[in-house]
Amino acid sequence: MAAAQDSNEISYLLPPNRKDWEEKGVPNFVYRQKELLEGIQWPRTAPSLLDRTPRSRFDSALCAAWRQRMELGLFRYRLGELQTQTLPGVVGFVAQLNVERGVQRRRPQNIWSVRQAFDPEQFNFNKIRPGEVLFRLLREPDLPGALQQEDILVMINVSPLEWGHVLLVPEPTQGLPQRLLPAALRAGVEAVLLSSHPGFRVGFNSLGGLASVNHLHLHGYYLAHRLPVEGAPSEPLDPGGRLHLLQALPAPGFLFYTSGPGPDLEALIGRVCRATDYLTDHEIAHNLFVTRGAPPGKTSPSSALTGIRVILWARKSSFGVKEGEAFNVALCELAGHLPIKTSQDFDSLTEAAALALIRDCLLPPAQAEEVQAALVALIAQDE
């Protein structure tokens, strides 16, 4: 995604002299309620035309600062245009060849529990290099009904999946473990709403759900392709329509939906975090994906993106990276985006093989039904 240039971006760029980077401090990106954008749609023609559409202030700041860090060599590899294909079949998997990420990314930490405590001796986001933080994401204070805002640092992922791949990290000095909190989720949802690009998504991997660092963070990145979960059909699980089951491939998941900013969004954040708290407390790994999407019900891949979909998958715990697999199953793979590690797998991967890898990571049917019943009962407490 090309970055637009405007006078607002300059404060997010690093000074020419590296010695000045630490002294510069972290600039604030302060946003207002009116900057949360509704009704952003995919263009009717090729997604590549997104590069010619106007950027939001958030997109301009993020992309200009991210591109500068790439040019300065702060990433583990230089990300070029990734070879991309849609796998033949009914799902519409978007497969991308990203050899460098498979080879160069930092080895995952030694994780053994979804509830593992933060360990300051392990790698964490207090140990990153100067210049990796792009800005501090802050809501304008005193918004009606808003939760207390925490500092959210937006920093580069040094092993990027795609253009603009960043991490959203609540104040790192607090040493929070990788357990989803309401303020972090709200920042992630509002980051999606701040972008005018329909393919900017945010996600969360729990411990055991392939989070490689036990320090609270969410992922955000641009992908100029529609994904199956945006318009997949669903059915309600409670009479109030607050929890839905996304039944379509690539994997069944729990769907939470809001039409946009406001009280409904705050309520959604509370429901999602109660669900992830339940999963964490019961040692159940999970992945979460935030995207613009269609309302629940009988939708289709071409449905209009009228609101925000938050999809939650409960899954088998998986600690470490499985060597030899075409891809590892985490937040983007469950949503239908497959970063592939080798050219051979990219050329030979089929939809059936991809689905088999994903299904192998899902809960057994009996446990899945137990989790569903528990979450339905949890949501019913909103009555």
DSSP state at residue 116: P
Q: Do the beta carbons of residue 36 and residue 193 sit within 8 Å? A: yes
Q: Which residues lie closer than 8 Å to 44 by C-beta, 6 or more apart?
A: none
Lowest mean pLDDT among 89-98, 120-129, 323-332: 323-332
CATH (domain of 97): 3.30.428.70
Three state DSSP letters for 213-245? CCCCCEEEEECCCCCHHHCCCEEECCCCCCCEE
Quick check: helix, strand or coil at residue 371? helix
Overall average pLDDT of the 95-114 stretch:
85
- Within 10 Å of residue 278's Cβ, how many Cβ atoms? 17
| Percentage of residues of the chain with pLDDT beyond 70 | 91
Asked if residue 24 is part of any domain, the answer here is no
Asked if residue 11 is part of any domain, the answer here is no
Q: Do the beta carbons of residue 287 and residue 206 sit within 8 Å? A: yes
pLDDT of 143 reads 53
Each residue's pLDDT tens digit, 139-197: 987 555 555 466 899 999 999 999 999 999 999 999 999 999 999 999 999 999 999 99
Asked if residue 47 is part of any domain, the answer here is no
Quick check: helix, strand or coil at residue 311? strand
The values of phi and psi at residue 173, to 5°, are -65, -15
User: Catalytic positions, please?
Assistant: 217
Asked if residue 15 is part of any domain, the answer here is no
Say yes or no to pLDDT of 3 above 60: no
The first and second tokens of residue 82, run together, are: 């990734």
d(CA 86, CA 16): 41
Each residue's pLDDT tens digit, 301-352: 778 899 999 999 999 998 866 667 889 999 999 999 999 999 999 999 999 9
DSSP state at residue 4: P
d(CA 139, CA 150): 9
Q: Which residues lie closer than 8 Å to 41 by C-beta, 6 or more apart?
A: 198, 304, 305
Overall average pLDDT of the 265-273 stretch:
96
* pLDDT band per the 50, 70, 90 thresholds, residue 9: very low
Higher pLDDT, 58 or 18: 58
Lowest mean pLDDT among 104-108, 223-227, 288-292: 104-108
Overall average pLDDT of the 372-382 stretch:
93
Asked if residue 143 is part of any domain, the answer here is no
d(CA 383, CA 377): 11
Of 248, 202, 226, 241, residue with least CA distance to 382: 241
For the beta sheet containing 244-246, the strands, ordered from the edge strand earlier in sequence to the opposite edge, are 28-31, 133-139, 152-156, 166-170, 218-222, 200-205, 285-293, 307-315, 253-258, 244-246, 234-236
Of 299, 314, 327, residue with least CA distance to 375: 314
Residue-averaged pLDDT of the chain: 90
DSSP letters for 10-76? GGGSPPSSGGGHHHH-PPEEEE-GGGS-------SS-GGGGGGSPPPHHHHHHHHHHHHHHHTT-SS
Torsion of CA 100, 86, 358, 294, to 10 degrees: 120
pLDDT of 140 reads 85
Lowest mean pLDDT among 66-80, 105-119, 254-268, 361-375: 105-119
Tell me which residue range forms the domain holding 231. 58-136+148-381
Each residue's pLDDT tens digit, 21-45: 887 889 999 999 999 999 899 987 7
Say yes or no to pLDDT of 6 above 80: no
pLDDT of 43 reads 87
d(CA 216, CA 379): 25
Lowest mean pLDDT among 95-99, 227-231, 300-304, 321-325: 321-325
Asked if residue 163 is part of any domain, the answer here is yes
Q: Which long-range contacts (CB under 8 A, 24 or more apart) does 350-354 make?
A: 350/87, 350/88, 350/89, 351/87, 351/88, 351/89, 351/90, 351/91, 351/93, 352/89, 353/326, 354/87, 354/91, 354/93, 354/95, 354/250, 354/326, 354/327
Say yes or no to pLDDT of 383 above 70: no
Of 134, 197, 143, 121, residue with least CA distance to 169: 134
Overall average pLDDT of the 237-255 stretch:
93
Quick check: helix, strand or coil at residue 264? helix
Asked if residue 46 is part of any domain, the answer here is no
Say yes or no to pLDDT of 278 above 60: yes
d(CA 223, CA 204): 16
Domains in the chain, number: 1
Strand partners for 219? 167, 203
Asked if residue 339 is part of any domain, the answer here is yes
Q: Do the beta carbons of residue 186 and residue 270 sit within 8 Å? A: no
